[in-house]
Structure 1
Amino acid sequence: MHVNTAIKTGLLAAAISLSPFAAFAEESSNPLPGTFSGNIALTNNYIFRGVTQTAHDAAIQGGLDWDTGMGLHFGTWASSLDFQDGGQATTELDLYAGYGGKIDNFSYDVGFTYYWYPGAAKVTNYNFWEVYGKAGYDFGVASLTGFVAYTPSNTITNLDATYVQASFAIPVIPELSISGAVGYYFLEALKNPTDYNIGATLSVYDWFTVDARYYDTDVASECLVGTIKYCDARLVVAIKRTF
């Protein structure tokens, strides 16, 4: 069973060379408006919408983003993966663009994401695109966010799919926050699964973050392929550096 995923090896190599990139960025005049940022992460498991994309193995991930400062933003994100398909797809590359902003404590974002799996045969139907919308409100003591994404051709059934999610984040101290989310997939011709996660994120000397998160779904017993339970409960720890 191959599942709809979110969310690059050449890009990762560029992200790993963090210090030279940062020095070059500071010394060069940028002809483009806005700001550029990047990130690189190591995780013991890559889980997307409740489903492991690495057969519960570790992954290296990274991304680059451009915020034009005028609402428009563009970016790319990459991750290693393992679909247990004989090595057809070993990398996920996401390309996205959107328009967003803030009005006081209210934030919004709408956009488009293309999920590309280099090396995968066309018959696998891995590659897909979706449109999304997101809105949130920061109450100070906590923030709430709603998210919805739609694709006319998901990788599970090659039919319509809509994913909705509600999430929260609570700042405990400046360096620590608690967050969680509940998501629901409307999958045509299949049972609609629910996924959820809860965890904590710690900032270490403004240098990197450590995120520890518990994931689970209501379809663990129905998401078994061979000996691998793709949708069962897992604790995931990720270390991330943003620059």
Structure 2
Amino acid sequence: MTHAALKTFALPLAVALAAALPVLASAQLSGNIALTSNYKFRGQDQDTHKSTAVKPAIQGGFDYAFGESGWYVGNWNSSVNWLPGNSIEMDFYGGIKFKAGDIDMDLGGLLYAYPGASSGNTTELYAAGTWGPLTAKYSHTVSQDYFGWAGAKAGSGLRGRNTGYLSFAFAQEVAPHTTLKASVGFTRFASDIKDSGVPNYMDYQVGGAYDFGGGLGLAAAIAGANKKSFFGDVNKPRLLLTLTKTL
């Protein structure tokens, strides 16, 4: 590259970098680690090899926000025990947050990955809106596989795509450092799964969280789901205690 060409290339590059500096300067990386007495996902225990109420799991991840643009990526992980050959769930997600009037919007995609047992891998797109203490969120499965229930990797020949999950959550500070939380969710399986006899179901969670300061928090909640006659013990209501440290 000639000196003149180098100058021609360097000028727009410098302009681009200068424009990106405010975003880079305000970018934020945060992390978290937690210990919970039982990991429930959509009301269901993620350790199916124990019948006890206490099934400890260690969890943690990180989030990276690209400044004021609203874009973000992240990763979250948890120990699990419901798939042969697998002991960890690894979630990878990314999206954008923005304001729409008085509503805080969040649009993105999420991959649930289970190393060593890819039949559980599931990909969803989601859209959420928060207005004051209320949040509504819808997640839609776009992968053929759905948590081992269906898909090519599961070997069932069934399709999990178009399974949907709708949830409503409430979170409100009711005393200094104390937040009351409640949520309800509805899983609607794709027709292939539902036609095989798997019922749609509802999950719930009610509890609270206390912020000790310094990024340390303790949450307690009762969580479970209906249709216990089909899903069994994994849908039983449990007392969940979770200690979290934000880094």
Task: Please classify the TM superposition score into its range, dividing by the shorter chain length.
Answer: 0.7 to 0.9
Change (3 A) 1:222 1:238: same
User: Following superposition of structure 1 onto structure 2, how do residues 182-193 of structure 1 map, counting pairs within 5 Å?
Assistant: 182-188=184-190, 189=194, 190-193=198-201
Question: In the alignment, which residue of structure 2 is the partner of 1:62?
Answer: 60
1:105, CA displacement in angstroms? 4.2
Question: In the alignment, which residue of structure 1 is the partner of 2:92?
Answer: 95
Question: In the alignment, which residue of structure 1 is the partner of 2:14?
Answer: none
CA distance in 2, matches of 1:182, 1:116: 24
CA contact (8 A) 2:94 2:110 kept: yes
- Residue 176 of structure 1 pairs with residue 170 of structure 2: no
CA distance in 2, matches of 1:209, 1:103: 30
User: Following superposition of structure 1 onto structure 2, how do residues 1-243 of structure 1 map, counting pairs within 5 Å?
Assistant: 34-55=27-48, 57-69=55-67, 70-83=69-82, 85-86=83-84, 88-102=85-99, 105-120=102-117, 122=118, 125-138=119-132, 143-152=133-142, 153=144, 154-155=146-147, 156-158=149-151, 159=160, 160-188=162-190, 189=194, 190-224=198-232, 229-243=233-247
Cα RMSD, aligned residues only: 1.8
1:199, CA displacement in angstroms? 0.3
Change (3 A) 1:44 1:101: same
1:60, CA displacement in angstroms? 0.4
Any idea what SS the aligned residue of 1:211 has? strand
Instruction: Compare the two structures and name the one with the higher helix fraction.
Output: 2
1:182, CA displacement in angstroms? 0.6
Which string of whole-angstrom CA distances, capped at 9 and with x for unpartnered residues, describes residues 143-202 of structure 1? 100000001331223323100001111211230010111100110223110001100000
1:205, CA displacement in angstroms? 3.0
CA distance in 1, matches of 2:27, 2:135: 25
Any idea what SS the aligned residue of 1:223 has? helix
TM-score of the pair, normalised by structure 1: 0.78
1:130, CA displacement in angstroms? 0.5
Q: Unmatched 5+ residue regions in structure 2?
A: 1-22, 49-53, 152-159
CA distance in 1, matches of 2:76, 2:25: 20
Which string of whole-angstrom CA distances, capped at 9 and with x for unpartnered residues, describes residues 56-77 of structure 1? 5110000111011211000000
Any idea what SS the aligned residue of 2:120 has? coil
Paired AA for residue 116 in structure 1: A
Change (3 A) 1:217 1:135: same
1:129, CA displacement in angstroms? 0.5
CA contact (8 A) 2:43 2:204 kept: yes
Which string of whole-angstrom CA distances, capped at 9 and with x for unpartnered residues, describes residues 123-158 of structure 1? xx11111000000101xxxx1000000013312233
1:37, CA displacement in angstroms? 0.3
Identity of matched residues, % = 29
1:101, CA displacement in angstroms? 2.0
TM-score of the pair, normalised by structure 2: 0.77
Change (3 A) 1:208 1:105: farther
